[in-house]
Structure 1
């Protein structure tokens, strides 16, 4: 019975969180009110507080929920192909979709995300754990490439992860902010720019003979 109630709670929490992220895209997190989230999600404001203590609690849940989706997508990319470049491009596409689906959470992830989380929430601990799972997946991928002699030796894997994440995030953000200008001027399409950028980032990992 307890398990059933827990599953039901998750269903409602996801529905509320998805409504919240839609509002965050247009109004930003700070300007979004709890009653607006409740209305869009189809709940009364009082019911909203059954599932979340406050708006920060919703943001904390969203951080966890969105990261689980990113983790699963990266895991699929790693398992679906044994070609290192194809896997890397799949990981990049996973991060690209993460930014598209959860832009405000993505931006938070580029800074000190813990500042925006409800540290007393169980979701905060789970967010950290899922983040570490993602790091381990990427480390395993990089280590495999080094072992095969495809990638150059990596002295500090966490440093390399941050470097790669920074480059991928950078090209995604610049592609979004300059999309209309680049398309209007006829220079190149966003999709092509991102694809070529991912391939160039991948080349920075390759072992140089």
Structure 2
């Protein structure tokens, strides 16, 4: 990466991180580009050099979050000194960590991604998000296949489909568990962390031999 590219990334990240804080507090609609510029200490014209609008900032934040997940999962799955079960729980924690770090990014990751290639290509960031999502799905599928080969998992469907199912289930459980943390504590006398770990164990039991 050249010095100019590093500086561009620095400024884009500064602006996006500032926007994320404002979006989380005020919502996207009630946050203006003027507010983002003022809070980030940039001129409005400079903001528009890096982002066309608020929607592009949101997509950039989602891409960052998805890339963080992909890198975290890849590092875990490629490790040679962890059991398949340990890898599973660490993958769960990668998602938990992103939610704890940014509920805003996590929730927007779950929104619909345009499937038609010709439509995605009109918005390059949207296509980038789609491709990273496919990379994550393929990596988890690889993990499931390896677990089956190691005689630790029993897959009743294609690994690629199960990978998507687990991604969907884990994401939903983490979001719902966080939003209902007070209910969980009152009704089940468990903290959020213990509850989530119990659900993760139940989900593992579906495929574990």
**What TM bracket, shorter-length normalisation?**
0.7 to 0.9
Displacement of 1:73 in angstroms is 1.4
CA distance in 2, matches of 1:63, 1:118: 15
Question: Gaps spanning 5+ residues in structure 2: where?
Answer: none
| Cα offset, 1:118, TM superposition | 8.1
Alignment correspondent of 2:200: 198
Q: Report the CA distance between 1:184 and its aligned residue.
A: 4.8
Kindly state the Cα deviation for residue 76 of structure 1 after the two structures are TM-superposed.
2.5
**2:2 aligns to what SS in structure 1?**
helix
Q: TM-score, normalised by structure 1?
A: 0.87
Aligned to 1:12: 11
Q: Counterparts in 2 of 1:109-188, with a 5 A limit?
A: 109-114=109-114, 120-184=122-186, 187-188=189-190
Task: Tell me what 1:30 maps to.
Answer: 29
8 Å contact 1:179–1:190 — kept in the other structure? yes
| In 2: Cα distance, 1:101 partner to 1:118 partner | 28
Unaligned runs of 5+ in 1: none
Whole-angstrom distance in 2 between the partners of 1:200 and 1:184: 21
Given that residues 146 and 154 in structure 1 are in contact (C-alpha distance below 8 angstroms), is that contact kept between their aligned partners in structure 2? no
- 2:90 maps to 1:90: yes
Q: Aligned partners of 2:10, 2:199: CA distance in 1, in Å?
A: 38
1:156 shift after superposition: 2.2
How many residues get paired?
205
Rounded to whole Å, the distance in 2 between the matches of 1:166 and 1:121 is 24
State how far apart, in whole Å, the 1-side matches of 2:18 and 2:137 are: 28
Note the aligned Cα RMSD (angstroms). 2.3
1:60–1:118 contact (8 Å) kept in structure 2 = no
Q: Deviations over 1:139-183 (max 9, x none)?
A: 110110111121113432232122212221222122212212333
- The alpha-carbon distance between structure 1 residues 48 and 147, as it changes in their structure 2 partners (threshold 3 A), is same
Give the deviation of 1:206 after TM superposition.
1.4
Q: Report the secondary structure of 1:162's partner residue.
A: helix
Q: In the alignment, what sits opposite 2:44?
A: 45
